[in-house]
């Protein structure tokens, strides 16, 4: 079964998915960084942005598993090379059952990390430490540094589906900034060894 059919089957239970749902998650990602430049100052979040993020998260949190999976499906659809990297150290003949469990587990871990960051937005030192260590661990997972910047846009496309009625440009900017902040320190960790 093709990658696309496989992930669609996972999300919907059928490989014959309506194109509408998947059209929404396709987004053009901005250029991503292939390195960490310590001369670039770390992004900062304003109080207003922190409030917007917390308000959104209170709503989206109830659908965290779905948001996580849709984020990954979007990422793999728009960037199949990330999927290959993700599965590279696994058995070639991963069964659908194992595949689903792997996809779900990582999606939930990413969501758990976003949750941790949001709950610690008042304590930047802790987030910096968490994200830098996460970056260091991702070196062992053979993840390319430029893949990190691809996660934010897909995540944002995915939460937008749940926040359609309240979503504004300001929401978009706040979430972009959160991922910029997280990924700054993840990249720092990835380049620290």
Q: How far apart are CB 169 and ligand HEM at their closest, in Å?
A: 22
Number of residues that bind ligand HEM (CB under 6 A): 18
Site for ligand HEM in 103-162 (CB under 6 A): 105-106, 109-110, 113, 134, 137-138, 141, 143, 147-148, 151
**Site mask, ligand HEM, residues 29-68, x = CB under 6 A?**
----------------------------------------
Beta carbon nearer to ligand HEM, 70 or 151 = 151
Supply angle C-alpha 88, 182, 152, rounded to 5.
65
Q: Determine which residue in the list 22, 86, 181, 185 makes contact with ligand HEM, applying CB under 6 A.
A: 86
Cβ of 44: how many Cβ atoms within 10 Å?
10
Query: Minimal distance in Å, beta carbon 70 to ligand HEM?
Result: 15
* Complex with ligand HEM: residue 85 or 191, whichever CB lies closer: 85
Give the distance from CA 69 to its chain's centroid: 10
CA distance 79 to 27: 11
Instruction: Output 106 or 120, the one with its CB closest to ligand HEM.
Output: 106
CB nearer ligand HEM, residue 53 or residue 182: 182
Q: How far is the CB of 102 from ligand HEM (least distance, A)?
A: 6
- For ligand HEM, the closer CB: 49 or 149: 149
* Site for ligand HEM, rule CB under 6 A: 82, 85-86, 102, 105-106, 109-110, 113, 134, 137-138, 141, 143, 147-148, 151, 182
């Amino acid at each position: 079964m093709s990658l696309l059919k496989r992930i669609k089957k996972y999300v919907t239970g059928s490989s014959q998915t309506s194109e509408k749902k998947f059209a929404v998650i396709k987004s053009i990602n901005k250029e991503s960084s292939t390195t960490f430049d310590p001369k670039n100052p770390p992004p900062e979040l304003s109080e207003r942005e922190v409030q917007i993020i917390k308000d959104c998260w209170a709503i989206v949190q109830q659908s965290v598993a779905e948001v996580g999976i849709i984020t990954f499906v979007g990422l793999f659809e728009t960037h199949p090379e990330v999927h290959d990297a993700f599965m590279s150290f696994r058995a070639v003949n991963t069964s659908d059952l194992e595949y689903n469990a792997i996809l779900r587990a990582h999606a939930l871990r990413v969501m758990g990390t976003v949750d941790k960051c949001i709950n610690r937005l008042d304590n930047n030192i802790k987030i910096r430490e968490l994200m830098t260590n996460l970056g260091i661990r991702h070196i062992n997972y053979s993840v390319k540094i430029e893949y990190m910047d691809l996660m934010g846009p897909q995540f944002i496309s995915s939460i937008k589906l749940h926040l359609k009625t309240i979503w504004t440009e300001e929401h978009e900017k706040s979430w972009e900034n959160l991922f910029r902040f997280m990924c700054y320190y993840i990249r720092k960790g990835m380049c620290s060894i």
